[in-house]
Amino acid sequence: MPQTVLVTGGAGFIGSHTCVELLHSGHEVVVLDDHSNSAPEALERIAKIAGRPIAAAHVADVRDRRALDAVFTSHPIDAVIHFAAKKAVGESVQIPLAYYDINVGGTMALVAAMHDHGVHRLVFSSSCSIYGDATTVPLTEESPAAPTNPYAMSKWTCEQILADLCRHVPELRVLALRYFNPAGAHPSGLLGEDPHGVPNNIMPFLTQIAVGRRDELSVFGDDYPTPDGTGVRDYLHVVDVAEGHRA
């Protein structure tokens, strides 16, 4: 059945692609985004791809309870997909307090608002970074968590708090999705990853070099057990990530 879904960070990289999947599936979409690492133009492109607009867009910080209350009061929200967070491992080491404040504090403000307004279904965007320097692959849900930086710890902390809330609030339903390295762009070419400032991910860095916005890419490491000694990573296409959140 069609539902109204609140997507926090809905103008961002994964959030915007998820909005497209939700609209294609017949759902109504409400977006909350402060555009600290996204552009309002993404919402227009979502509408162009999906053939219909989102129901509403709210420019606000996910930690702002007054703004959250206004969203839940204004729309009949059935469920929430929560992307709004800071996400760069290196940056989290430099500004750990901001990561805990935004990632953990924002999640708690959101869940509190949901509870107050009778909304009990949440899909939480987590991260495989919670596994740390795992020595056994492939990773499973039973693999032990061992976060090694404030970003990973913030995601793991949110998961633990949400799990505990589910034990004490019977009506609450939370699904945490863990994944590594989303990359790519929508096949239309209208949506992709275009962060503010210096990219923290290799794909937008490469594309900015390709169009002349940056001069070169630094490659770190030459002694990995790979054909040329440089690092190899798994990547997941952003549309697949978006479809997973929609499902």
Query: Which residue in 99, 100, 131, 151 is the catalytic one?
Result: 151
For residue 138, cis peptide bond before it (omega within 30 degrees of 0): yes
Q: Residue 175 has which token pair?
A: 């699904």
Cβ–Cβ < 8 Å for 39, 194: yes
Nearest alpha carbon to residue 191 among 5, 23, 18: 18
Active site residue 151: yes
To the nearest 10°, report the CA torsion of 122, 193, 178, 64.
Answer: -40
Nearest alpha carbon to residue 19 among 68, 67, 63, 56: 56
* Cα–Cα dist 173/167, whole Å: 10
The span from the first CA to the last CA of the chain, in angstroms, equals 13
- The number of CA neighbours under 13 Å toward the Cβ of 27 is 22
Cβ–Cβ < 8 Å for 183, 236: yes
Residues 6+ apart with CB under 8 A from 177: 123, 124, 125, 126, 244, 245
DSSP 3-state assignment of 186?
coil
Q: Residue 97 has which token pair?
A: 């307090």
Active site residues: 151
